[in-house]
Amino acid sequence: MKVLITGANGMLGTAISKRLTSVELFTFTSKELDITCAHKVQEKVASLRPDYIINCAAYTAVDLAEEQREKAFKINATAVEKLAQIAAQYDATLIHFSTDYVFDGTSNIPYQPHDITSPINEYGASKLAGEKAIEVLASKYYIFRISWLYAPFGKNFYTWLTTTDQQQLNIVTSQVGSPTSALSVANFIHHVIKQDPLQYGLYHYVDHGKVSWYEFALKINELAELKKNIHAVDHYPTAARRPAYSVMDTSKTEEVFKYLLSPYQIELEKVIEGL
């Protein structure tokens, strides 16, 4: 089995690359293979003929996307559209990752994959455009919406909290979601490619549980024994609006893939303990 990974230097790409040890793996950083250069991507796919293309390349600067809309859409939508066409042309299964930010956050129950989308920031809009392109153009694909991604490496909330010198921290309570470990996602993708082909389509993958950023910070502080003073605040000014509630239902994922997702606390412990 041949697997090509784009964006292999990012948080998710790194985690998946480390996990897929039993396949013929071709990993490319965003500099080595820029997905916005469609002809280079096509040349690589034509040469390697992978069974899977796992796209981990993305524009993820949520706030900056408000002023760099064109760049966000170029990477998250236009490039993904071309990638879907190339995957279909060479009969590769495309695995792509989207976000909880495709929802507006006005629900008070977990979002289902088929629920109405209505992003409230440019990042979410660009990711939704990428989803729609894949659904139209790819013949074999899995789209997995994930949320609040973190890992023991890369730039994310967990690494910031565990490395900052600040002892007094103000963390918002106004956003509720499901923290999800990149290592957890990587284990799941390993399971997916062993089970495929299954029901292609759009799915949610998040570790179980719902917390605010403040509550997540408290849990990290407790389990990692950071001894920081964490204070709750209602609001923190950002350029981009965030959904107040973006918890996603994973029952379809668990049913189709016969995969039991873990509570976020268990996955967090694994990250802290280096498992």
163, 223 in Cβ contact below 8 A?
no
User: Mean pLDDT across the stretch 46-68?
Assistant: 98
Statement: the pTM of the whole predicted model exceeds 0.95: yes
Domain extent for 173: 2-273
**Rounded percentage of the chain residues whose pLDDT exceeds 90:** 97
User: Mean pLDDT across the stretch 245-271?
Assistant: 98
User: Mean pLDDT across the stretch 109-137?
Assistant: 99
On the question of pLDDT at 103 being above 70, the answer is yes
Return the pLDDT at 274. Answer: 87
Residues in Cβ contact with 259 at an 8 Å cutoff, skipping those fewer than 6 apart: 188, 191, 253
User: Mean pLDDT across the stretch 42-48?
Assistant: 98
Residues in Cβ contact with 163 at an 8 Å cutoff, skipping those fewer than 6 apart: none
What pLDDT band is residue 275 in, cutting at 50, 70 and 90? Answer: low
**Rounded percentage of the chain residues whose pLDDT exceeds 70:** 99
Catalytic residue annotation: 123
Backbone angles phi, psi at 219, to 5 degrees: -70, -40
On the question of pLDDT at 198 being above 90, the answer is no
CATH number at residue 189: 3.40.50.720
Q: How many domains does the chain have?
A: 1
> How many CA atoms lie less than 13 Å away from 78 in the CB half-sphere?
11
